[in-house]
């Protein structure tokens, strides 16, 4: 579903939302004892169109900030920001928790946001090439 938004300067942004039923990938991760689940909702072409991160410590500040990040990241994708550019903006962000992940494709993370960006890069950017 496309939603068109116009502004005073005649710039038109088109949002491509995912349908009510869509394929997705859910990935369990852990960074320094912080466990979470990343769910990636997919457009019909198999590319990410939305992300959700559910942290084990529900109700925490970290969980709330992750929800805000996911909403903004998803909107950016739906308004046409290419995934590789979105990944580049969030990869290497550094803050706690950080450390080993147990994922051989992303063995170290500088933050949860860094981990999400690196996971998306490995699973969707590199595989699309």
Domain boundaries, the chain: 21-128
Residue 6 has a pLDDT of 56
pLDDT for 38 beyond 70: yes
Neighbouring residues of 49: CB distance < 8 A, sequence distance ≥ 6: 16, 17, 18, 22, 41, 42, 43, 74, 77, 78
Q: Map tokens 């088109």 to a residue.
A: 14
Which has the minimum average pLDDT: 37-41, 63-67, 111-115, 119-123?
63-67
Decide if pLDDT at 9 tops 90. no
pLDDT tens figures, 71-94: 999 999 999 999 999 999 999 999
The CATH-assigned architecture of domain 21-128 is 2-Layer Sandwich (3.30)
For 48-68, give one letter per residue: b (16+ CB within 10 A) or e.
bbbbbbbbeeeeeebeeebee
């Amino acid at each position: 579903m496309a939603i068109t938004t116009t502004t005073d300067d005649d710039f038109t942004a088109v949002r491509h939302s995912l349908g009510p039923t869509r394929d997705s990938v859910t990935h369990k991760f852990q960074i320094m004892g912080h466990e979470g689940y990343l769910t990636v909702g997919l457009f019909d072409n198999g590319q990410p169109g939305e992300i959700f991160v559910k942290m084990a410590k529900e109700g925490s500040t970290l969980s709330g900030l992750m929800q805000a990040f996911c909403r903004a990241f998803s909107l950016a994708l739906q308004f046409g920001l290419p995934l590789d550019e979105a990944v580049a903006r969030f990869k290497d962000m550094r803050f706690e928790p950080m450390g080993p992940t147990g994922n051989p494709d992303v063995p170290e993370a500088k933050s949860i946001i860094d981990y999400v960006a690196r996971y998306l890069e490995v699973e969707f950017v590199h595989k699309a090439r």
